Amino acid sequence: MGGEAVKIAEGTYTLKLMLEPEPIELKLTIKADQELTFILVKQDDKWIIKE
């Protein structure tokens, strides 16, 4: 868990986590010098990504 921050260029991305029973997909638009943190949690037996 945790780890180093990842730096990526400005643009539009799709974050896809290959989880069971189904993958999670989140579309993101990253702006210059923007810093985001996401948390993966299990809620009601389903994985969700919280910002």
DSSP 8-state code for residue 17: E
- pLDDT for the residue 5: 82
Give pLDDT tens digits for 1-51: 677 888 889 999 999 999 888 899 999 999 988 888 888 898 888 888 888
CA distance 40 to 2: 11
Domain segments of the chain as ranges: 11-50
DSSP 8-state code for residue 31: P
